[in-house]
Amino acid sequence: MVGENTTEVCVWHVDLKSTIEAPSRINLKWNPTLLVLDTTWGRDCLFVITGYVNFTRKCVSWMCLQIFGTESDSNYEAEFTLLNAVTKTSPLKWTIPVVDIQTDARDQIDFQQMSPVEIPFCFLKQVCGNMRNFPITVKIQPSLGVEKEGPLRKYIAVRTHTSEIY
């Protein structure tokens, strides 16, 4: 699938339930979706939205890779929104950096295994109902970055530890 002249695409996953409940239990990768931007800040950029189903960890994940385009000092982020197709609500939204494979390329690294957000099967079953057809939207935007002072100055610092429970 290719989305052109936009900054946002909606990817429909068909019958995820049968994929998750498949007896084979083989880790799977989503079919990639290509996205071509037509904006002043992202002209001539090509992005790939992809993801995987990991049966070992019982989760799914998505990520965005930048294949080519723009200057090396530009950074992008991808905002993913999981939608409930029945209620048209958004039970989950997350934003992660786009991986620029031109500058972040490393030998023999599977970029899909680097996704920082993994969504458990049990969560998907609760929020997506029958999971026959559910959409996930992806919006590419320039990364806002973190100021040198950092946003932590605005918050009260609280430290915690994990105690051993037997």
pLDDT at 149: 45
pLDDT score of 33 more than 90 = no
pTM, full prediction: 0.75
Q: What number of residues does the chain have?
A: 166
pLDDT score of 10 more than 80 = yes
If you average pLDDT over every residue of the chain, what do you get?
75
Banded model confidence at residue 20, pLDDT cuts 50, 70, 90: confident
Banded model confidence at residue 109, pLDDT cuts 50, 70, 90: low
3-state helix, strand, coil in the chain (%, to 5): 15, 40, 45
- Domains of the chain (ranges; CATH) run 2-154 (2.60.210.10)
What number is the average pLDDT over the span 131-153?
69
Cβ(138)–Cβ(35) under 8 Å? yes
Q: How far apart are CA 58 and CA 20, in angstroms?
A: 8
pLDDT at 117: 86
What number is the average pLDDT over the span 55-79?
84
- pLDDT higher at 152 or 139: 139
